[in-house]
Amino acid sequence: MNNFEFKNPTKIIFGKDTIAKLSEELPTDARVLILYGGGSIKKNGIYDQVKTALKDISHVEFGGIPANPEYSVLMKALKVIKEKGITYLLAVGGGSVIDGTKFLSSAALYEGDSPWDILKDSKRTEVGMPFGTVLTLPATGSEMNSGAVITNAETKEKLGMGGPGLFPQFSILDPQVIQSIPQRQLVNGITDAFTHVLEQYMTYPAAALLQDRFAESIMQTLLEVAPTILKDPTDYNAASNFMWSCTMALNGLIQKGVPTDWAVHAMGHELTALYGIDHARTLAIIAPSHYQYNFEAKKEKLAQYAERVWNITEGSIEDKAYAAIEKTESFFNQMGIETKLSKYTDNFDGTAEIIAKRFTERGWLGLGEHKSLKPEDVEHIVHMAY
Ligand code: NZQ
Ligand code: ZN
């Protein structure tokens, strides 16, 4: 097992009707900006619950943060923060609203000329404006981690940011919120969380027995509850296990002491930036090709995953490893997710070359757990995903 340090300061408030506890978490003298997305919270009752909980706390609102939070929209929210003397941010939404709020937390205290530089120059945020979240969509884990991904429509870029200053102070996780989530987003959430685990697990054996089993148990739980979630999102037992699995998949715990990959996300983010494909779907496009291309380096963990998660016990290491890739792809397909880029856009020609060129320009010359995937490897993998 590798050496590690672990600190996750986010307080989780989990369970039925917990949005009512919001006011207990906010400083009484806070001037709060509530941030939300395209308006789903106004239809499903979450907005009303938040407003009721905040009745004695000074607050203003900013809605309209789109999926894949857009820089130009966030800059309007930043203006509100400055003009209204906001001291505390409250994200009410999924990964996009939470990530947008993290950007604002950083940008509100940023002293440089253009906040885009936080992303472009990979500036770590040591201290941000404090913020909390009310999670409405289990998927990204953003509610309990310190990362964010922001889109710039003008430059067609999607870049990550982070730092210890960007953990939420608290996150409220009421599994009942999933009742109103459309099927497409439920499927995305399951796929995103599942792939988060794969990114931190599908590398090479590192004698980290407990981390491996944490990872496997999250994937097993997601596989177990997925059919129920998709059939009946009002099933509270399935909803609560789904929600907690998504948070645990990316709150830092399972990556401690082990090598991690994250190349699937690096390539996937480019597909969202170029074609607007839902984040989770880009992962399902890239992952099967990535595991095939890196088969030799990953086959031992692929075989372990085959045995422990998919109960594939027959055959050689290679046989099991191949079967595991097939099982993973058909899991995505069975939930209705296409795993080839050509199913999402007719303009896929040249995508692999564009992505490889971008990575070269950014100096991303060695991705993956061995830092050995060069832009030409990325080009091959994206090609295989056409
Ligand atoms: O905008 P509204 O009206 O709220 O509707 C949203 C949006 O259309 C809707 N929705 C959310 N909760 C709902 C609901 N509809 C009905 N009922 C509810 N309870 O769902 C749609 C998608 O929301 P979004 O927040 O975009 O989805 P998700 O949570 O999947 O977030 C995706 C974003 O997170 C980033 C992705 O790149 C993408 O930009 N990620 C963030 C990560 C992180 N910070 O750790 C890691 C991830 O790998 C990912 O990159
Ligand atoms: Zn993801």
Using DSSP's 3-state secondary structure scheme, residue 135 falls into strand
CA of 356 relative to ligand 2 center, distance in Å: 20
pLDDT at 307: 98
CA of 296 relative to ligand 1 center, distance in Å: 34
Share of the chain above pLDDT 70, in %: 100
| Cross-strand partners of 62 | 35
pLDDT at 53: 97
273-322 pLDDT, tens digit per residue, is 999 999 999 999 999 999 999 999 999 999 999 999 999 999 999 999 99
Q: Which residue's CA is the nearest one to ligand 1's atom 15?
A: 181
Nearest ligand 1 atom to alpha carbon 44: 17
Residue-by-residue DSSP string for 250-267:
TSSGGGTTS----HHHHH
Q: What is the mean pLDDT of residues 231-239?
A: 97
pLDDT at 112: 93
Nearest ligand 1 atom to alpha carbon 148: 44
pLDDT at 320: 98
pLDDT at 201: 98
Strand pairing of 131-135 and 88-93? parallel
Nearest to 246 by CA among 97, 136, 140: 140
User: Which residues have CB atoms below 5 A from the ion given as ligand 2?
Assistant: 192
pLDDT at 2: 96
In the structure encoding, which two tokens stand for residue 357, read together?
């060129």
pLDDT at 249: 98
Cβ(177) – ligand 1 distance below 6 Å: yes
pLDDT at 206: 97
Q: Are 219 and 242 in contact (CB under 8 A)?
A: no
Rounded Cα distance, 103 and 116, in Å: 10
65-88 pLDDT, tens digit per residue, is 999 999 999 999 999 999 999 999
pLDDT at 111: 94
pLDDT at 114: 95
> What distances in angstroms separate CA 78 from CA 71, 108, 279, one per listed residue?
10, 7, 25
135-194 pLDDT, tens digit per residue, is 999 999 999 999 999 999 999 999 999 999 999 999 999 999 999 999 999 999 999 999
Helix intervals (H) in the chain: 22-25, 40-43, 46-53, 71-84, 95-108, 116-120, 183-201, 209-231, 236-249, 263-275, 279-293, 295-310, 317-334, 351-362, 375-384
Q: Are 65 and 37 in contact (CB under 8 A)?
A: yes
Q: Which residue's CA is the nearest one to ligand 1's atom 18?
A: 181
pLDDT at 167: 98
What is the helix (H) or strand (E) element at residue 171, kind and residue range?
strand 170-173
Q: What is the mean pLDDT of residues 266-278?
A: 96
pLDDT at 169: 98
Q: What is the mean pLDDT of residues 1-12?
A: 97
pLDDT at 182: 97
pLDDT at 306: 98
CA of 29 relative to ligand 1 center, distance in Å: 30
Q: What angle do CA 74, 79, 80 make, to 5 degrees?
A: 95
Q: Which residue's CA is the nearest one to ligand 1's atom 20?
A: 185
CA of 306 relative to ligand 1 center, distance in Å: 30
Q: What is the DSSP letter of 339?
A: -
Write down the mean pLDDT value for the chain: 97
In the structure encoding, which two tokens stand for residue 256, read together?
């401690």
Q: Which residue's CA is the nearest one to ligand 1's atom 38?
A: 68
| Cross-strand partners of 114 | none
